[in-house]
């Protein structure tokens, strides 16, 4: 037996003492006053004494029962449940809402998003709480990184529901582990029941990062929504890959005829999920470039899916060289489909008039008369500027630097540095080259052509921290270059189709041995590296490229073969872009900003400006995808940053209720799954929703409040009649005349 309102019941039951006190006061002895006819009254009283006492006690009992019945009715007497009283304790409910990228999925039959359905289910749970009992409600958003939305929990339940209605989907993945850590930081309190509700559509994109996640020890129960069953077809733009991220430009924005480089190939990776993966399909992709508030369409392409295919590429030919120089953002779009949040992918590109390359070598500029007089620097300068004889404007400008004069001032303004004579570098030059690389520069190193013992290798490895082993002494061999494109860097991906044919006539007679477990872009026929690539920085900026052959005819026939031009040109063009870094992060992270940036401003619109912290990253996580302009303290543009959707959350395949229960079973706490319908949360058959949610004890209780109030009304009528009977009062009517 328990009460819905125990305080009111206690006060009412205490009022039972009022009729008893009145009865005692009325029975006080009084001083007798004797008079002549007293003896006749006393005799009559003695004859009726027993009956009068019985009537008084009966009236007292009825009045006490009347007050008690009224108290039990107002207090809300509950009967049943084996005497459990847990339902009377205040409940603290934490609603954890999945507002990740997956929550933006639209039901094709209703047009409602997954987040809207989950908010409605959460409101159904919140409606079971009772602020008069002291119940409180807290709200957490589970999109990564998880964060409190309404904490500490509040008794203002209507206000909490208004907070729920204001939640919108983000572009990050769900962070259940972070949500549980936030719950774990809440201090438990005696006398309260603590529960959590996990509300998600439970598609594959929401069942992430549950391994090792445990609920706080004080949590009594976890309530969860039912997995969604509607099939949703979704196409995700997973990546935008231009041929080069740094494009040499000499045109005008929107003028397709102004470029020097012809058409550039841009590939867009498309993934699909949902119910249409078993059939062939196609997705149309649109490509444009965003420059501030200007948007210029570049072309369209189509990704063709075979039956059962999950991934396909859309290839778009765009004249990026016709765009005006400066920074920009490539924007690929598709859709609309079941999930709009992953229908856009962005990639930062840089458009420059030319690339400036520093060539470190002795001897200055000269004009060799025969091939035998060419030094390595002469071959490199010729490969970098083959168009110099026919055009007054170079796409790659070469600046000659003496090995003894490598300082910060000479390196400023360069995009890349080629070290043709590493043994001639002055003390400390390798450290300055490392600093140049850390700022986003490309460093290319060739062995010393005239020496068999390469004494510079230890200093270079120490400065760049490369995990290579380089032999001190060169060795002779005879082999042909074979094609092998390194997957991570993609240094020669633009000429991958022609590599085998171009490399066939090249012979190598001397080589510097390099032992590199990874980062090999090209290998010789015997498997030894010809070109090795290393990223020295921890922030994905900078690039070191090491050739195992010198650009000299005593080492290889490469300088006289057509392969030398695309080999050197691609090393510079692709290497500069790789060294700059992508400046791309996924939603939910703190994006890194280009050097010198103090804030990130949206490319379009008046969105939120992001402050850059001392560590070079934004002070707060960014949960929405988009493009930002990085500016310095004077407001000068220093680069662009893009934030991409966390596409792990894009998987729209449905999950069974059994699988969800199995995953949530690892929380180590009782899990109750709500029954649901398209109209919202419904009760399980045979039990009220309050009992199902654990807001009352599980065993059924019957409310006797109305019965007690009815009994009180009946007792009031009985008390009135009995009081008149006990008073022995009569009303006589006298008839006149």
pLDDT digits (tens, 9 = 90+) for 656-696: 999 999 999 888 899 999 875 444 444 443 344 455 555 54
Q: Which segments within 81-232 are labelled E, that is strand?
A: 91-97, 136-141, 147-154, 193-199, 221-224
Residue 189: predicted pLDDT: 76
For residues 557 and 552, what is the distance between their CA atoms, to the nearest angstrom? 8
For residues 579 and 436, what is the distance between their CA atoms, to the nearest angstrom? 10
In a domain, residue 733? The reply is no
Residue 111: Cβ-neighbour burial (10 angstroms; 0-12, 13-18, 19+): exposed
CA–chain centroid gap for 126, Å, is: 26
What letters, b where the CB count within 10 A reaches 16 and e where it falls short, cover 258-279?
Answer: bbebebbebbbbbbbbbebbee
In a domain, residue 384? The reply is yes
Which phi and psi (to 5°) does residue 697 adopt? -60, 155
Q: Same structural domain for residues 94 and 47?
A: no
Two tokens, residue 249: 């430009």
Point out the domain boundary residue: 551, 580, 609.
580
In a domain, residue 492? The reply is yes
Two tokens, residue 717: 């009528």
Alpha-carbon distances, residue 667 vs 21, 181, 661 (angstroms): 58, 12, 10
Which residues are 91's β-sheet partners?
Answer: 193
Contacts of 372 (CB under 8 A, 6+ apart): 553
In a domain, residue 737? The reply is no
Q: Same structural domain for residues 142 and 92?
A: yes
Give the count of alpha carbons within 13 A of 270, CB side only.
29
Q: Same structural domain for residues 389 and 537?
A: yes
Alpha-carbon distances, residue 434 vs 367, 414, 640 (angstroms): 32, 14, 24
Q: Are strands 264-273 and 234-242 parallel, antiparallel or unpaired?
A: antiparallel
pTM of the predicted protein model: 0.75
Contact between residue 126 and residue 93 where contact means Cβ atoms under 8 Å apart: yes
Q: How many other C-beta atoms lie within 10 A of the C-beta of residue 57? A: 11
Point out the domain boundary residue: 580, 613, 628.
580
In a domain, residue 337? The reply is yes
Q: Same structural domain for residues 596 and 687?
A: no
Q: Same structural domain for residues 419 and 499?
A: yes
For residues 299 and 330, what is the distance between their CA atoms, to the nearest angstrom? 11
CATH of the domain at 378: 3.40.50.880
Q: Same structural domain for residues 43 and 127?
A: no
Residue 504: predicted pLDDT: 87
Q: Same structural domain for residues 256 and 270?
A: yes
Q: What is the pLDDT of residues 211-237, one digit of tens each?
A: 778 888 889 999 999 999 999 999 999
CATH of the domain at 198: 3.40.50.410
Contact between residue 228 and residue 114 where contact means Cβ atoms under 8 Å apart: yes
Alpha-carbon distances, residue 600 vs 25, 291, 603, 631 (angstroms): 84, 15, 9, 6
CATH of the domain at 257: 2.60.40.10
Contacts of 290 (CB under 8 A, 6+ apart): 328, 329, 330, 331, 346, 603, 604, 627
Two tokens, residue 263: 């058409």
Q: Same structural domain for residues 345 and 412?
A: no
In a domain, residue 735? The reply is no
Q: How many helices (H) and strands (E) does the chain have?
A: 15, 35
> H or E element: which one contains 458?
helix 457-464
In a domain, residue 732? The reply is no
Alpha-carbon distances, residue 42 vs 38, 657, 725, 729 (angstroms): 6, 85, 21, 19
Domain around 261:
234-353+646-650
For residues 370 and 180, what is the distance between their CA atoms, to the nearest angstrom? 74
Contacts of 308 (CB under 8 A, 6+ apart): 277, 278
In a domain, residue 221? The reply is yes
Q: Same structural domain for residues 568 and 591?
A: no
DSSP 141-164: E-BSSPEEEEEEEES-HHHHHHHH
Which phi and psi (to 5°) does residue 229 adopt? -115, -10
Which residues are 419's β-sheet partners?
Answer: 360, 445
Q: Same structural domain for residues 625 and 546?
A: no
Contact between residue 188 and residue 194 where contact means Cβ atoms under 8 Å apart: yes
Q: Same structural domain for residues 468 and 544?
A: yes
Q: How many other C-beta atoms lie within 10 A of the C-beta of residue 358? A: 23
Residue 604: predicted pLDDT: 78
Number of domains in the chain: 5
Point out the domain boundary residue: 580, 600, 628.
580
Residue 682: predicted pLDDT: 42
**pLDDT, averaged in runs of 10, over the chain (737 residues):** 69 82 71 65 67 79 86 69 54 96 93 95 92 90 96 93 95 95 86 92 88 86 93 94 79 42 80 89 94 86 95 91 73 92 92 90 73 87 73 79 92 95 92 93 96 93 92 85 57 84 90 90 88 82 94 94 94 92 91 91 82 94 94 89 95 92 90 67 42 49 73 86 72 54
Instruction: Please give the angle made by the CA atoms of 634, 640 and 643, to the nearest 5 degrees.
Output: 130
Q: Same structural domain for residues 225 and 294?
A: no
For residues 86 and 701, what is the distance between their CA atoms, to the nearest angstrom? 12
């Amino acid at each position: 037996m328990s009460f819905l309102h125990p305080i009111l019941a206690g006060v009412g039951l205490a009022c039972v003492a009022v009729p008893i006190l009145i009865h005692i006061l009325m029975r006080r002895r009084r001083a007798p006053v004797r008079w002549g006819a007293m003896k006749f009254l006393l005799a009559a009283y003695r004859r009726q004494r027993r009956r009068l006492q019985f009537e008084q006690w009966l009236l007292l009992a009825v009045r006490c029962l009347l007050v008690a019945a009224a108290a039990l009715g107002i207090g809300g007497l509950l009967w049943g449940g084996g005497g459990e009283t847990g339902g009377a304790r205040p409940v603290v409910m934490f609603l954890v809402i999945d507002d990740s990228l997956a929550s933006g999925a639209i039901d094709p039959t209703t047009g409602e998003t997954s987040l809207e359905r989950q908010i409605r289910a959460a409101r159904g749970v919140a409606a079971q709480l009772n602020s008069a009992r002291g119940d409180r409600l807290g709200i957490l958003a589970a999109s990564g990184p998880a964060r409190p939305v309404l904490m500490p929990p509040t008794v203002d339940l209507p206000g909490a529901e208004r907070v729920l209605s204001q939640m919108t989907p983000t572009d990050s993945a769900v962070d259940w582990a972070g949500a549980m850590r936030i719950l774990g930081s809440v201090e438990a309190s005696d006398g309260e029941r603590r529960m959590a509700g996990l509300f998600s559509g439970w598609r594959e994109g929401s069942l992430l990062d549950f391994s090792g996640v445990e609920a706080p020890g004080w949590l009594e129960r976890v309530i969860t929504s039912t997995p969604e069953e509607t099939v949703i077809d979704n196409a995700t733009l997973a990546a935008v890959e231009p041929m080069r991220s740094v494009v040499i430009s000499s045109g005008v924005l929107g003028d397709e005829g102004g470029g020097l480089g012809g058409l550039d190939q841009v590939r867009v990776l498309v993934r699909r999920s949902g119910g249409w993966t078993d059939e062939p399909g196609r997705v149309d992709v649109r490509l444009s470039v965003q420059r501030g508030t200007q948007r210029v369409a570049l072309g369209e392409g189509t990704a063709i899916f075979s039956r059962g295919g999950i991934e396909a590429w859309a290839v778009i030919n765009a004249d990026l060289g016709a765009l005006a120089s400066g920074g920009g953002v490539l924007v690929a779009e598709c859709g609309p489909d079941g999930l709009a949040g992953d229908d856009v992918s962005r990639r930062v590109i840089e458009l420059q008039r030319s690339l400036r390359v520093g060539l470190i070598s002795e001897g200055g500029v000269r004009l060799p008369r025969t091939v035998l007089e060419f030094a390595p620097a002469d071959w490199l300068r010729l490969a970098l500027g083959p168009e110099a004889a026919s055009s007054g404007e170079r796409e790659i400008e070469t600046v000659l630097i003496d090995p003894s004069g490598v300082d910060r001032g000479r390196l400023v303004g360069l995009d890349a540095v080629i070290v043709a004579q590493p043994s001639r570098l002055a003390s400390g030059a390798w450290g300055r080259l490392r600093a140049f690389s850390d700022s986003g520069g490309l460093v290319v190193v060739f062995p010393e052509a005239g020496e068999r013992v390469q004494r510079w290798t230890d200093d270079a490895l120490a400065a760049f921290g490369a995990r290579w082993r380089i032999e001190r002494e060169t060795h002779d061999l005879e082999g042909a270059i074979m094609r092998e494109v390194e997957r991570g860097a993609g240094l020669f991906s633009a000429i991958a189709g022609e590599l085998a044919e171009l490399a066939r006539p090249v012979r190598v007679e001397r080589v510097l041995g390099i032992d590199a477990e990874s980062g090999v872009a090209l290998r010789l026929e015997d498997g030894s590296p010809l070109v090795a690539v290393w990223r020295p920085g921890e922030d994905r900026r900078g690039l070191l490229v090491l050739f195992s052959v010198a650009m000299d005819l005593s080492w290889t026939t490469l300088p006289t073969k057509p392969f030398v031009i695309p080999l050197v040109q691609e090393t510079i063009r692709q290497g500069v872009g790789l060294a700059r870094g992508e400046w791309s992060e996924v939603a939910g992270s703190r994006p890194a900003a280009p050097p010198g940036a103090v804030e990130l401003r949206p490319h379009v619109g008046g969105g939120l400006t992001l402050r850059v912290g001392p560590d070079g990253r934004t002070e707060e996580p960014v949960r929405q995808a988009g493009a930002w302009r990085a500016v310095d303290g004077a407001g000068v543009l220093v680069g662009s940053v893009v934030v991409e959707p966390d596409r792990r959350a894009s998987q729209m395949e449905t999950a069974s209720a059994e699988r969800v229960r199995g995953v949530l079973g690892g929380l180590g706490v009782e899990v109750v799954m709500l029954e649901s319908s398209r109209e919202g949360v419904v009760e399980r058959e045979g039990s009220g929703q309050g009992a199902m949610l654990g807001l009352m004890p599980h065993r059924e209780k019957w409310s006797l409040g109305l019965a007690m109030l009815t009994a009180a009304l009946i007792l009031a009528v009985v008390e009135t009649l009995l009081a008149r009977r006990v008073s022995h009062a009569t009303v006589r009517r006298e008839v006149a005349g």
